[in-house]
Amino acid sequence: MSSLVAANIQESQWENGQTLLTFFEKNSIPLKVYYDLPREDKELADEIVSGNTFYTLYDEEGKLLQALIPINENSQLHIYKEDATYGMRAIPIVYFEKEHNIALSVESSLYNDIVKYTGDTFLASDFIQAYKGSVNFKRQIKKGDKLAIIYERKYRLGKVFGSPNIKASILKTSNEKKYVVRFDDGNFYDLEGNNLNKYLFMIPLKYKRISSHFSMGRKHPILGYKRPHLGTDYAAPRHTPIKAASQGKVIFAGTKGGYGKTVIIQHENGYRTLYGHMHKINKGIRAGVYVSQGKQIGTVGSTGLSTGPHLHFGLYKNGSAINPQKHLRIATIKLKDKEREKFSILAKSFQNQLETILANNLENEPFKKMQNSYIVYLSEEIGNDEDSKRNN
């Protein structure tokens, strides 16, 4: 670390419209470095989301030494100076998780009160989504009703990072108590094991096979290191119709770097879908247009960085890539047999915890934010250590 004593670490926001190529130009990195990257790494460069916080390390002369640019909650692009040139690879993000619980009385609305107490809009949105299918918020929720939440939050550099993970919650009204518990499959269930998730996506095309699955870290057979693949690739004949996986608003329709001809649709509750490598985008599909679930938006092609006709389908929640397959499947309506037994034990434990939290910790004072600072790890050894990702 002695060589980094005089180095300057900067924290910045990825600007809207900025690409990896413009970042290279801004930092005097030869564009050949980008063009020489493997196809999969160029595709990852298109996953950078505007507004994300990234970190750069400069020497005394203002020359870029390293950069860490997140592409989702678990992975980041590591750009580093190597002798007279630069290299780039995907590495895990170093963070730690902390469990929290809150309890409060409703003063104005569920959403506003959670945000006022925690400052966490994502937590408020996820709480609303968890109860959306079983509660009429306008008619059933009144001032003085109570709630409690047990959830996990990721922290990076002493700041909240990514999306929360609600493990269980209770909403207590004058008439009843409604519990929600997240199970192993990521879905929310009530205490009887009934699935509460109502928001599912349809498979966007008829395909021959899945040529590449979603992965947070596949080991590349030639390069030897892990590289994420933030979507599902469906191999299908050229010109196969592609349909919107759910209703929403088109926010992008055009050419997007390695994804070639691409359509991006914004859905409610923080979800977004991406359709890449298209041969053709249908007439009338443009930014600002609303589409219904199942509406054709284009056809399968091989544009951009593609070795053959297929659809790259990406699903995002609050800007972070998630596994489409878990949301495209028909959800289990009710847990059965061994899963039901396992869930019952888990649900009973959370029910007791929530009752205790609600009884002992009811307060509407602002949430105390963490003041600690944490190191930005730039070495590949630390970045590639899966254990350090969880424990630092």
| pLDDT tens-digit series, residues 97-135 | 999 999 999 998 999 999 999 999 999 999 998 898 788
Q: How high is the pLDDT of residue 223? A: 46
Of residues 131, 384, 79, the one with CA closest to residue 269: 131
Residues 6+ apart with CB under 8 A from 189: 180, 181, 182, 183, 195, 196, 335, 343, 347
C-alpha span between 368 and 167 (Å, rounded): 21
Helix 110-118 vs helix 121-131: angle between axes, to the nearest 10 degrees? 150
Residues 6+ apart with CB under 8 A from 83: none
Task: Quick: pLDDT tens for 241-295.
Answer: 999 999 999 999 999 988 999 999 999 878 899 999 999 999 999 999 999 999 9
pTM, to two decimals: 0.74
Q: What sign has the CA pseudo-torsion 326, 332, 335, 338?
A: negative
C-alpha span between 150 and 137 (Å, rounded): 21
Amino acid identity, residue 46? D
Q: How high is the pLDDT of residue 383? A: 39
Question: Which of the residues in the chain have pLDDT under 50?
Answer: 1-5, 220-223, 364-392
Burial 182-217, CB ≥16 within 10 A → b, else e: bbeeebbbebebebbbeeebeebbebeeebeebebb
Residue pair 335/347 in contact (Cβ under 8 Å)? The answer is no
